[in-house]
């Protein structure tokens, strides 16, 4: 059953984070790790948000907004996926599982690419605002001219709020169906989460922009594997 | 009027005598946080810059004609890294206060912006977008299994300790030094710090591949836990190789999911 207050909350938070990403502040509340975790926290399913956010943070690590180039919109991917995962978990009442996180990412991970198209689509509106500001300034209405700047935010808020809210509705609707899936498929989905996380971390190592990234990533991975194996042997010995 | 010597980013500079009140300076700084609210391909951050500067221009030019001319000269093309824009904003106020006093021609502030926005954008993009953010993102994401949601809090605290401090300092340096802030910014050696941070990012991501594979594989695999952990590790190495061969990221993500779902269904 869809909890509409939660859907509204997901929408408002998704819209606000979309503004923080580019229009206001850019203090990284809109990064996937923070955006998804906070979305999970607001919807009462922080673990789902956290693990969805961790994976998407790694996946989008190398993306950067340089000059006029537009990267994928990592924020809507994070808010959409986390809202869906949280909705899914809340509708079952049993808490989030790796299978639900994987399903949310499979369903909505591509929103980052859609977000880039939306951002591009909204640019002409801002160009019109800029032209209007110049025209209004020429008429001597300076305060009104500079305040055109703030009008550039509302379409972003509305569109991304609708998308995040929509994702949470889908999560609420899909959640009960997950428990009716064949056990083998649920197990496969649960296995898909770490598989995607592993792939995303490899993408992150490559996207770190470091010289010799393979060497640094390989050495750290080797140390972690050796430490984990040593711990395992110690535990078995005890 | 002689300009004070350039200073490194370290000690906070003394506020300049622009003739603007602290409240006006604070308003300009706060409004600069909306620099990209109406980012557009034609003027880019032009409207955001004019919006941020407006309270100061209003105070500096009581005469409506001069005020209009001042606002109009900041509605032309402007684009730089949004945090580094704080330095340019400070520098613009430095120059505008001199223009208002008749000590400089208006062209001076236009050439100041044109000269600085490119180099500061390159510095800021390289340090913030391509180094600090990926390094802290990878580091904190790798800490999620240990710190849980506090990893997200740690990311925000570490990032903004650098971001907000630099942003405020750059604004004050622009106010004090004008054109000479470039030398002061160069003292901060941001490119060298950036290279170190990128190394942290790569190492953290490598650690994350290994830790996630081992811990999640062992937790979910049951009797085939070790096999699963090895499989995830192998998948991480394969993914790195595929990405280096320009294999699409989405294709990779969905390929990993498909393989795991198939393995879960048939093993």
Interface predicted TM-score (ipTM): 0.95
Q: Domain check: are B92 and B201 in the same one?
A: no
Answer with the one of B188, B208, B232 that is the final residue of a domain.
B188
Q: For residue A126, list chain B residues with Cβ-Cβ distance below 8 A.
A: 38-40, 47
Which three-class secondary structure state does DSSP give residue B41?
A: coil
Shortest alpha-carbon distance between residue B131 and chain A (Å): 8
pLDDT of residue B9: 56
Q: Answer yes or no: do A207 and B141 touch at CB < 8 A.
A: no
pLDDT of residue B2: 47
Q: Domain check: are B201 and B87 in the same one?
A: no
pLDDT of residue A50: 97
Look at residue B3 and tell me whether its pLDDT is greater than 70. Answer: no
Question: Residue A227 contacts by C-beta under 8 Å, 6 or more apart in sequence?
Answer: none
Q: Domain check: are B76 and B126 in the same one?
A: yes
H or E segment to which residue B247 belongs: none
Answer with the one of B170, B188, B206 that is the final residue of a domain.
B188
Q: Domain check: are B98 and B28 in the same one?
A: yes
Q: Answer yes or no: do B155 and A31 touch at CB < 8 A.
A: yes
Q: What is the DSSP string of A88-104?
A: HHHHHTS---HHHHHHH
Number of domain units in chain B: 2
- For residue B6, being part of any structural domain is answered with no
Closest chain A CA to residue B30: A25
- Domain that includes residue B256, residue range: 197-266
- For residue B16, being part of any structural domain is answered with no
- For residue B17, being part of any structural domain is answered with no
Q: Domain check: are B157 and B209 in the same one?
A: no
Locus of tokens 């898909």: A192
Q: Domain check: are B46 and B90 in the same one?
A: yes
Answer with the one of B129, B158, B188 that is the final residue of a domain.
B188
Question: Does B33 reach chain A within 8 Å, measured CB to CB?
Answer: yes
Q: Domain check: are B87 and B184 in the same one?
A: yes
| Average of per-residue pLDDT across A159-173 | 98
Q: Domain check: are B49 and B77 in the same one?
A: yes
Q: Domain check: are B46 and B178 in the same one?
A: yes
- For residue B13, being part of any structural domain is answered with no
pLDDT of residue B14: 46
Q: For residue A113, list chain B residues with Cβ-Cβ distance below 8 A.
A: 250
Q: Domain check: are B80 and B172 in the same one?
A: yes
pLDDT of residue A73: 97
Q: For residue A57, list chain B residues with Cβ-Cβ distance below 8 A.
A: 137-138, 140-141
Q: Answer yes or no: do B263 and A24 touch at CB < 8 A.
A: no
Q: Could you tell me if B54 and A143 are in contact, meaning their C-beta atoms sit under 8 angstroms apart?
A: yes
- For residue B7, being part of any structural domain is answered with no
Closest chain B CA to residue A216: B203
- For residue B98, being part of any structural domain is answered with yes
Percent of residues, chain B, with pLDDT higher than 70: 93
| Average of per-residue pLDDT across B107-119 | 95
Q: Domain check: are B79 and B184 in the same one?
A: yes
pLDDT of residue B1: 42
Percent of residues, chain A, with pLDDT higher than 70: 100
- For residue B109, being part of any structural domain is answered with yes
Torsion-angle region of residue A211: left (phi > 0), alpha (psi -120 to 50) or beta? beta
pLDDT of residue A238: 62
Band (pLDDT 50/70/90 cuts) for residue B222 is low
Residue A70 tokens, joined: 């537009």
Q: DSSP strand E in B92-250: where?
A: none
Could you read off the pLDDT of B151-199 as tens digits, one per residue?
Answer: 999 999 999 999 999 999 999 999 999 988 888 888 888 999 999 999 9
| Average of per-residue pLDDT across B104-120 | 95
Q: Domain check: are B146 and B215 in the same one?
A: no
Of A146, A196, A225, nearest to B256 by CB-CB distance is: A196
pTM of the shown model: 0.93
- For residue B114, being part of any structural domain is answered with yes
Of B47, B208, B220, nearest to A191 by CB-CB distance is: B220
């Amino acid at each position: 059953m869809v909890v509409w207050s939660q859907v509204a909350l997901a929408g408002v938070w998704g819209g606000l984070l979309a503004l923080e990403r580019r229009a206001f502040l850019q203090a990284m509340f809109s990064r996937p790790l923070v955006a998804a975790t906070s979305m999970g926290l607001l919807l009462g399913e922080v673990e789902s948000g956290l693990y969805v956010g961790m994976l998407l943070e790694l996946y989008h690590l190398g993306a950067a907004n340089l000059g006029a180039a537009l990267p994928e919109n990592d924020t809507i991917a994070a808010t959409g996926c986390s809202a869906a995962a949280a909705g899914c978990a809340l509708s079952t009442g049993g808490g989030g599982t790796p299978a639900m996180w994987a399903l949310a990412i499979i369903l909505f991970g591509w929103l980052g690419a859609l977000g880039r198209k939306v951002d591009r689509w909204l640019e002409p509106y801002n160009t019109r605002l800029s032209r209007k500001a110049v025209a209004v300034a020429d008429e001597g209405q300076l305060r009104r001219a500079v305040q055109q700047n703030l009008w550039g935010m509302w379409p972003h808020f509305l569109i991304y709020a609708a998308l995040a809210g929509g994702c949470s509705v889908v999560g609420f609707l899909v959640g009960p169906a997950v428990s009716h899936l064949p056990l083998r498929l649920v197990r496969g989905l649960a296995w898909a989460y770490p598989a995607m996380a592993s792939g995303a971390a490899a993408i992150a190592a490559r996207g770190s922009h470091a010289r010799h990234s393979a060497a640094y990533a390989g050495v750290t991975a080797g140390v972690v594997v050796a430490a984990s194996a040593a711990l395992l042997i110690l535990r078995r010995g005890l | 009027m002689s300009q004070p010597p350039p200073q490194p980013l370290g000690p906070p500079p003394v506020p300049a005598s622009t003739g603007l009140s602290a409240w006006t300076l604070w308003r300009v700084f706060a409004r600069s946080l909306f620099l990209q609210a109406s980012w557009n391909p034609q003027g880019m951050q032009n409207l955001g810059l004019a919006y941020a500067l407006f309270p100061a221009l209003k105070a500096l030019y009581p005469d409506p004609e001069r005020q209009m001319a001042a606002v109009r000269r900041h509605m032309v093309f402007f684009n730089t890294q949004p945090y580094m824009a704080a330095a340019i904003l400070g520098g613009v106020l430095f120059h505008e206060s001199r223009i208002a006093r008749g000590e400089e021609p208006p062209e001076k502030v236009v050439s100041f912006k044109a000269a600085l926005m490119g180099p500061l954008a390159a510095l800021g993009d390289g340090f913030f977008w391509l180094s600090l953010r990926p390094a802290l993102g990878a580091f904190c994401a790798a800490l999620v299994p240990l710190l849980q949601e506090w990893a997200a809090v740690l990311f925000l605290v570490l990032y903004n300790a650098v971001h907000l401090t630099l942003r405020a300092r750059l604004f004050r340096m622009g106010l004090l030094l004008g054109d000479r802030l470039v030398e002061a910014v160069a003292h901060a050696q941001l490119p060298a710090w950036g290279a170190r941070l990128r190394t942290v990012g790569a190492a953290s991501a490598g650690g994350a591949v290994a830790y996630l594979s081992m811990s999640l594989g062992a937790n979910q695999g049951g009797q085939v836990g070790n096999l699963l952990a090895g499989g995830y590790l192998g998948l991480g190495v394969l993914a790195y190789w595929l990405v280096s061969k320009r294999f699409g990221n989405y294709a990779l993500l969905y390929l990993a999911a498909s393989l795991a779902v198939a393995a879960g269904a048939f093993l």
